Structure 1
Amino acid sequence: MDIFDTRTMLEAVEQMKTPRRFLMATFFNGSNPRTFPTKTVDIDIVKGKRKMAPFVHPKLPGSVSLGEGYSSSTYAPPYVQPKRETTADLILKRAAGESPYAAKPPAQRAAEKLGADLRDLDEEIIRREEWQCAQALTTGQIRVVGEGVDDTIDFLMAADHKITLTTGKWDADGSDPIANLRAWKRKIAKDSGRTANTAVLSAEAVAAFQANDMVMKQLNTRRVDMGMIKPEELPDGVTYLGYLNDPGLDLYAYDEWYLDEEDVEQPMIPAGGLILGASNTRNAMLYGAIQDLDAIESGMVEAARFPKSWVTPEPSARWLKLQSAPMAGFLEPDAFIFAKVV
């Protein structure tokens, strides 16, 4: 079996235990991605309305009911293709942590190196996907800036769903975080018809929230037993805070960072901010076609990942590349609010 065959590598990628993607899994139906055989994808951004059926005499013709309004747009999902060189001497050398007396054949070393490299490349793409989700949720847009590309994917998030508190900040005396959450949940219900059930807070928002006397009186911590979270296994970087009976929200703290273009670590959720939204929307991860001749010839253009390997003769080296065209489809922006509360 050729371990560098595309189908073999693709099977390995699909079986990998990937890092948890909290925002993607919670708000973008991360377990049900949608792939497309085209470079572009059409998305329909729904703006819900509460129409009632009109009264009419039973002997008169029925009244025409128009479908819900939506905005249709066509986007080309951003393309990512991180690659890595695997040289012959790296394959022959003892791996870090491996016993110097181990006698692994070169083929086994190559297979293990391939697995480690595929995992690293896949994690780079996963971080980019989670970053897209965070950008969509907090700004309503995804800025796509890179080599040969400068574009903005705009999901038409209403300005009044991007809130910055100027008075009543959560770290100020007399602030009422619970009243804020209650009002924002009602706004989401009014504008989208969805029921917000989850709030994800930055570290600064958590600190201000937990220091508020009114909050601590109403925070129901019955789901926490001896400091251990009972109802679900939480991914790294996520802390379950508790359930707020009024207005009926699960509260989470999310501590995750990414390296920006200047190699400076930035929080996924901007400092002092929070995301409030519904976990049952039509949002989804969308994947455009793989733009590679090998993918076209092998009939695998419609895929979330496409691994590829090739050899250069001089200098002798094997290259590994993982391709993807992901886009966080923020299809119901009215079902979310981003608020800067500190």
Structure 2
Amino acid sequence: MDALSLYDTAELLQLIETVFEPEQFLVNRFFPTVHESTTTQILFDRFTENESIAPFVSPNVAGRPMRREGRFTDAFRPAYVKPKMTITPDDAFRRAAGEQVGVGTMSAQERFDIAVMMGLQKQLRSIERRLEWMAASALTRSSVTVVGDGYPSVTVDFARNPSHTIELLGDDAWSNPNVEIGDDLEDWSMLVLEATGAAATDVIMTPDVWRVLMRNSNFRELFKTFQSLGGSLPGILPAVQKRNLYKGQFGSFHLWVYQDWSRDEDGVKHKYMPPGTVTMVAAGETGVAGVQAFGAIQDIRALQPMRWFPKMFEQDDPSALVLLTQSAPLLIPVRPDATVSVQVLPPADEMGEEEADEAP
């Protein structure tokens, strides 16, 4: 095509660096490592700690062999995500966003460039939301269920200890204003510490849980007292809504309110974390050690490990350019026992009318 310049993959990758601004909270905080596989399969290790202690022996007795820490290797061929969109001649000849009305100061090539950048950004955002959804599922459920067109439903189970998935019932639920929140958090953090050697310090909760906490007078007073002793400022007042909010510290625990979501093709909103949920995580390499893994792209123009592979090609009839971005992702908690997920509130149909009305 001579009229408008097409971008090759290298130029599209440069555009990604320009337009891509990650906003994923869970991905960035708990899955910072990126692994690009050289095959269509992703191999990942899961580690277990044995906490063996050195035995006493006589100095004249041979040393005792130590059992190695457990390591299990699993393999998974990830499903593709490949958002595609068409850029038509209209995009090059009609007024671009921000261009002065009625003046037409931009050339067709400039408008075409803007259309490509906006299209690429939209595709990357959709992939970004899929990664965040995977991160939320891996942390809360310790599994990711993959299903799609031409891809049968497959659940990747990261084999978290069943005792790290908890449901609080009756008076133990946090809807009881007399529950000792601090005791629960310390108990769950100890579960992680005993399993991995790293204590859970990040507490991620849904908005309905935070509102219930603010009705717990014991928690509220302790929370405000800690902040006045030098902690970060308390986030106890209504705030401008964001998809995640840092509320401050409670003892050594960092409190986050998480409310990210996406919409399906019908525009229906789906929250990444189930309502009434608290998830505790030990972050970092000594904790969950999360990895963003990407399988090799099955495209003859790729043939190398890549996180994502964008390309453009021309369509003759009707005349258009097709922009396609391909990725084969899986987010992996290398130490799944570095997480605990707790249903702290009863389902909405079991809550009182007031709580059910307030739950998002």
Q: TM-score, normalising length from structure 2?
A: 0.86
Deviations 1:223-255 (A, max 9, x none): 445979xxxxxx94221111111xx20101112
Q: Which residue identity lines up with residue 64 of structure 1 in the other structure?
A: P
Give the C-alpha shift of residue 339 in structure 1: 0.6
Aligned to 2:39: 38
Cα distance in 1 for residues equivalent to 2:191 and 2:232: 30
**Residue of structure 1 equivalent to 2:11:** 8
* Structure-to-structure mapping, 1:109-188, within 5 angstroms: 109-149=111-151, 150-167=153-170, 168-188=172-192
Q: Which is further off, 38-47 or 313-322?
A: 38-47
Q: Which amino acid aligns with 1:145?
A: V
Distance 2:16 2:52 in 1: 47
Q: What is the SS of the residue equivalent to 1:271?
A: coil
**1-structure distance, mates of 2:164, 2:40:** 31
Taking the aligned partners of 1:262 and 1:160, their CA distance within structure 2 comes to 37
Equivalent residue of 1:190, what SS? helix
Aligned position for 2:283: 279
The whole-number CA distance in structure 1 between the counterparts of 2:193 and 2:233 is 32
What is the alpha-carbon distance in structure 2 between the residues aligned to residue 227 and residue 129 of structure 1? 28
> CA-to-partner distance for each residue in 1:242-288, whole Å, 9 max, x for gaps?
1111xx20101112112257642122211010110111132211111
Q: Cα offset for 1:55?
A: 2.2
Q: Is the contact made by 1:2 and 1:8 (CA closer than 8 Å) also made in structure 2?
A: no
Distance 1:199 1:8, change over 3 A: same
Amino acid at match of 1:189: L
Match of 2:355 in 1: none
Q: Once the 2 structures are TM-superposed, how far is the Cα of residue 158 of structure 1 from its aligned partner?
A: 2.1
**TM superposition outliers: structure 1 runs of 4+ over 6 Å:** none
The residue number in structure 2 matching 1:253 is 257
Matched residue type, 1:328: L
SS of 1:295's partner is coil
| Cα shift readout 1:313-341 (whole Å, capped 9, x = no counterpart) | 11111000111111111211111001111
Within-5 A mapping of 1:1-342: 3-29=6-32, 32-100=33-101, 101-149=103-151, 150-167=153-170, 168-219=172-223, 220-221=226-227, 222-225=230-233, 236-245=242-251, 248-260=252-264, 263-280=267-284, 281=287, 282-296=289-303, 301-342=304-345
Long gaps (5+) in structure 1: 229-234
How many equivalent residue pairs?
Answer: 329
CA apart distance, 1:64: 1.3
Root mean square deviation of aligned Cα: 2.1
Change (3 A) 1:329 1:94: same
Fraction of identical pairs, as percent:
28
CA shift digits 1:88-133 (9 cap, x unpaired): 1122111234212132111111111111111110000000000000
1:169–1:262 distance in 2 versus 1, CA, 3 Å: farther
Q: TM-score, normalised by structure 1?
A: 0.91
> What's the CA shift string for 1:23-72, capped at 9, x where partnerless?
1111112xx31111111111111121210122233333322122101221
Question: Aligned equivalents of 1:226 and 1:293: distance in 2?
Answer: 54
Cα 1:236–1:12, aligned 2, differ >3 Å: closer, same or farther? farther
Code of the aligned partner of 2:298: Q
Give, in angstroms, the shift of residue 2 of structure 1. 5.0
**Contact 1:20/1:236 (8 A) holds in 2:** no
CA 1:145–1:293: 2 relative to 1, 3 Å: same
Cα distance in 2, alignment partners of residues 263 and 49 from structure 1: 48
CA distance in 2, matches of 1:223, 1:285: 32
Separation in 1 of the partners of 2:213 and 2:50?
Answer: 33
User: Cα distance 1:33–1:22, how it changes in 2: closer, same or farther (>3 A)?
Assistant: same
User: Following TM superposition, by how much is the alpha carbon of 1:205 offset from its aligned partner in structure 2, in angstroms?
Assistant: 0.9
